[in-house]
Amino acid sequence: MLYSLSELKCGELINEQIKEFPFNSYSNRYSFYIEYLHNEIGMIQTARGKLEEAIAAFGSAIEYNDKSKVQRSMSNIHYNIGVALQRAGRNEHASMYLQKAIQGYRDDLARMPGSAKVAGRLGNVLAEVGNFTEATEFFRRAVQLDPYDIDNHSMLAKALVVQKRYDEAIEELKKAKQFVSQIGNEAAELKFQRDIEQIELEKAH
């Protein structure tokens, strides 16, 4: 992926902002912001294919949280570093961080049982490690909590297709298509129709 000059400049500006803070500033006032900046750098570097730089940035975010006076959920960053490590071929370390992400999202969902975003993220990381059966449960929960989020429906259908549960996937997409039709989202309705046709073709083969 090629980054525009503005995006590359953004990465440089983030680095400059981090330099303004002393490395041992672990107070609640600054640590969240520094963790966020390191995570942003990690995301940019991952997209650019600079995986070692991304892993280092995510690692710095985790280190700041570990030393901070107030501990925050690291679920997203554990997931991000796990994916970067996986792409770099460091599967053992990737598995460790992905498992931390799974446990973190479980804890997050226990605190926020009504969060569709957390349910969907837990589904994503479970799918990442190949646990599609349980991933399906959390994608379904995300759909129930927020049926307006198109991605929730798509991820649920994809998880079902991976398990060759084609009829269930088609049924879920038909319900999603009906819902978005009722709220006037024509683009989503067309997308779901195309997805249904694709699954039907895959099922036929």
How far, in Å, CA of 103 to CA of 80, rounded?
14
Alpha-carbon span 37 to 49, nearest angstrom:
18
Do 3 and 104 lie in one domain? The reply is yes
Task: Please state the separation of Cα 199 from the chain's center in Å.
Answer: 24
Q: Using pLDDT thresholds of 50, 70 and 90, give the confidence band for residue 14.
A: low
Residue 71 or residue 19, greater confidence: 71
Asked whether residue 126 falls in the same domain as residue 107, the answer is: no
For residue 153, the domain's CATH number is: 1.25.40.10
Predicted pLDDT at 31: 63
Q: What contacts 20, CB < 8 A, 6 or more positions away?
A: none
Q: Domain range holding 185?
A: 115-205
Considering only CA atoms, which of 3, 42, 34, 39 is closest in space to residue 16?
34
Model confidence band, residue 20 (pLDDT cutoffs 50, 70, 90): low
The pTM is what? 0.83
Supply the pLDDT for residue 111: 97
- Give 49-96 as a DSSP string: T-HHHHHHHHHHHHHHHHHSSS----HHHHHHHHHHHHHTT-HHHHHH
Q: How confident is the model at residue 23 (pLDDT cuts 50, 70, 90)?
A: very low
Which pLDDT value is given to residue 26? 46
- Give me 85's structure tokens: 């490590």
Looking at the fold, whether 104 and 27 belong to one and the same domain comes out as yes
Q: Which residues contact 94 (CB under 8 A, 6 or more apart)?
A: 82, 83, 85, 86
Mean pLDDT of the chain: 88
pLDDT digits (tens, 9 = 90+) for 126-146: 999 999 999 999 999 999 999
Q: Which long-range contacts (CB under 8 A, 24 or more apart) does 196-205 make?
A: 196/170, 199/157, 199/161, 199/166, 199/169, 199/170, 199/173, 200/166, 200/170, 202/161, 202/166, 203/166, 203/167, 203/170
Of 61 and 20, the structure prediction assigns the larger pLDDT to: 61
Q: Express each pLDDT in 53-103 by its tens digit.
A: 999 999 999 988 888 777 789 999 999 999 999 999 999 999 999 999 999
**pLDDT computed for residue 16 by the predictor:** 58
Q: What is the number of structural domains in the chain?
A: 2
| The pair of three-digit structure tokens given for residue 196, joined into one six-digit string | 């249904």
Domain end marker among 62, 78, 111: 111
Q: Which residues of 48-84 are buried (b: 16+ CB within 10 A; e: fewer)?
A: beebebbbbbbbbbbebbeebeeeeebbbbbbbbbbb
User: Are 102 and 130 members of one domain?
Assistant: no
Q: Which of 80, 111, 142 is the last residue of a domain?
A: 111
Give the model's pLDDT for residue 34: 80
Same domain? 101 vs 149:
no
Mean pLDDT of 30-49: 85
pLDDT of 7 reads 46
Per-residue model confidence as pLDDT tens digits over 175-193: 999 999 999 999 999 999 9
**28 shares its domain with 95:** yes
Report d(CA 44, CA 80) in Å as an integer: 11
